[in-house]
Each structure stands twice: as structure tokens, then as C-alpha cells.
Amino acid sequence: MLLHLWEVKEREKKNRLSLLLSKSGSHENVNPQSMKSPTTASIISPEEALKWSDSFEKLLANKDGLDTFTTFLKSQFSEENIEFWLACEDFKKNKSTKLASKAKKIYSVYIETEAPKEVNIDFSTSQIIKQNVQNPTQSCFDTAQSIIYSLMKKDCYPRFLKSDIYLNLIQKKPPSNNMIRRRSRSCVFNDRIEAETDFGIWL
């Protein structure tokens, strides 16, 4: 009877160890290409990316340029600037019947004190906007939008052109493959440690 119980436990230990090692090995089979976002260095030519350095206006006018610049701002924890600018651009296209609700939403998200994505504008401008949103027009955010645009053009844009995100594009060096591969090996290493630890517990 004791021999039978010992054999059952041995089989359970081996099955558990085999399952864990099999799970960890699956990380090695992940194709890094399948994990990329739709907009990657592989579909943006260096020639196209180089045009973005001509002017900030050309960068924003290009969809891939805008997406890449947004990615850069996210890496700098300042994506609220481009999001606010785009929200203002969209706001100007709205019909008068929707202006009030749209204006209040933009104000609550980007302008008012301690807003979730508060942009960096002066106090007097924010107070003027606070009054304007009570009876909004399509131009009620123009001053704040100009301030943020100027901030991005003079500060964020030059840093973007020197960033790895941009330099990797113009030099045809996709940044993600090696990073993903290193992470996958780390996962395998960690899972194998867990497997060995679990094996020790069963002993």
C-alpha cells in the first residue's frame, strides 16, 4: 500500500514538472513579428520619416508621423499635449448643437485644476476658457491650443528628432525584436525556477 502511494506521488510530481517546463518552453516559440503594433519601422520608410524633420507641420500632417510622435510623447509621459491639440481640432469641426457638451468634456479632461490630463497653460487662460465654455464657440479653445502647439513645436519636436524612436526609423533599426527576445528568455528562466521550486515542494 505504501509503495503504491509513493508511485502515485512520483507520477504526479513528474506530470507537474513536465507541464511547467512545457509552459515555459512556449515562450521561445513566440514570433516577435506577430507582437508588433500595426505602425512599425518595417512599414515606414527612412525616406518618409526623414520628411518629418522638415517641419513640425509636416510631421503632424502625416498619419504615421503623428502616430510616431504620439508614441514618443507617451514615452515622455506628456501625451496629454497632442491629445488636447487633436481634441481641439475635432472640436472646431463640430456643429453648434454639440459644442456645449464637447466643450465641457474638453474642459473637464484637459483644462480645469487637477483634471486627469491637465495641460500646462497659464492661470488667466484657463479662467477665460472656464467662462467661455458656459457659452462656447468654435474658437473658445484657440488660445490654449496655440500655447500647447508652441510648446510641442519648440520643446517636444526637437527632442523627438533626437530620440531613439525617430533615429531607429531613419536608420532602419526596428527597436522591438531584441527587447522582446530578451524578455521571452527571462520568462523561460523564471518559469523553470518555479518548476524546480515546485518540484522541491513535492519532494
- pLDDT class of 115 with cuts at 50, 70, 90: very high
Handedness of CA 54, 60, 77, 46 (dihedral sign): negative
> What is the per-residue pLDDT across 159-189, written as a single tens digit (0 to 9) for each?
999 999 999 999 975 544 443 333 333 333 3
Mean pLDDT across the chain:
76
Helix, strand, or coil (residue 173): coil
Superfamily of domain 43-172: Regulator of G-protein Signalling 4, domain 2 (1.10.167.10)
Neighbours of 140 (CB within 10 A): 23
Please report the pLDDT score of residue 98 as a whole number: 82
* Stated pTM of the model: 0.64
Helix, strand, or coil (residue 52): coil
Q: Would you tell me the crossing angle of helices 142-151 and 80-92 to the nearest 10 degrees?
A: 140
The full set of domain ranges for the chain reads 43-172, 179-203
Which of 78, 151, 144 lies closest to 106 in space, CA to CA? 144
Is the pLDDT at 10 greater than 80? The verdict is no
